[in-house]
Amino acid sequence: MTIVEAPVELPVDATTERRRAIQAAASSSLRRRKLSSGIAIGVCWAFLGIAIIPLVAVLIYVTAKGLPAWNVDFFTQSTTPEGIPGGGVWNAIVGTVEITLIAVAVTVPLGLLCGLFLAESNGRIAATLRFTADVMTGVPSITVGIFGYIAIVKNFGGYSGLAGAFAIGFIMLPVITRAGETAIRGVPQSLNEAALALGARRATIARRVVVPTALPGIITGVLLAVARGLGETAPLLLTIFGNQYLQWNPTKPMEALPILIYNNSSQPYADLVQVAWGAALLLMVVVLVLSIGSRLFAARLQKERR
């Protein structure tokens, strides 16, 4: 006689039962959620297109207005006085490059040191410095220009390229600081711990491990800060004064592309207005190249490090 054993009922796991209930609810609402997601993505793309239309329109308009001014003389000759045809923006290019290089040479090391300090510390001093950097980021550029005029122009020999570099560096510094902090905080903590386990000092870790690893983000922040500083007009109006002649000495009044655009665009002479459009196109191209190039360069560095 064969004895048939009754099936043994295993106890139901509450977690498994809850997971099944959640999966059933998710399956029942999958179609509705996909539809909602598609609508949300479509709305985002629509608003992106609306935001891009004015930008593309400005790019096309400035290109159409400024491109006729581009020739050999435009890039190799200095500005000519009113009523004299010809001339270019070579003096403004030289002034812009010198002012930007001086500002970068001072603000990049200082900004990276501040960013490293903020990334490694969370005390009161770090909180105060972080708050100050955030406030400086939102300060209007005309206020920076007034500060540069009072601090440098009135007390150190008048208008000069150095005063303009000081004002532009004041604008660039908080951007570099916050970008450096964000990039350094993104370095995995395991790298620091491994270096400490090998007996490396804090300074050596920062120089050999942290900064090279965070280099893509740091470079992006620096280039974006330079792009912002290049387009500022108000600080330069109150610090460098402008100069129609070629000037290599940064302790003297200099010309810069934003100042040239501002001055020439309000003139009744068609040739000067044409030069202003050409300078605006040149400045726009440089800013776009720096902005887009910083992203591509950072992405390439990250890809190589992987």
The model's pLDDT over 217-240, given as tens digits with 9 standing for 90+, comes to 888 888 888 888 888 888 888 888
Q: What is the pLDDT of residues 168-179, one digit of tens each?
A: 999 999 989 988
Q: Which residue has the tokens 């400086």?
A: 136
The domain segmentation of the chain, as residue ranges, is 67-305
For the chain, 306 residues long, give each residue's pLDDT as a single digit of tens.
Answer: 555 555 545 455 667 777 777 777 767 777 787 888 889 999 999 998 998 998 899 899 999 999 988 888 888 888 887 777 777 889 899 999 999 999 999 999 998 888 888 888 888 888 888 888 888 888 888 888 898 899 888 888 788 889 999 999 999 999 899 888 888 888 877 877 787 787 777 778 777 888 778 887 888 888 888 888 888 888 888 888 888 888 898 888 888 989 988 888 888 888 888 889 999 999 999 888 888 887 787 777 767 666
- Encoding tokens for residue 226? 């330079």
Distances (CA, A) of 121 to 89, 189, 199: 46, 14, 21
Domain 67-305 has CATH 1.10.3720.10: yes
Counts of helices then strands in the chain (DSSP H, E)? 14, 0
Amino acid letter, 13:
D
CB of 248 closer than 8 Å to CB of 160: no
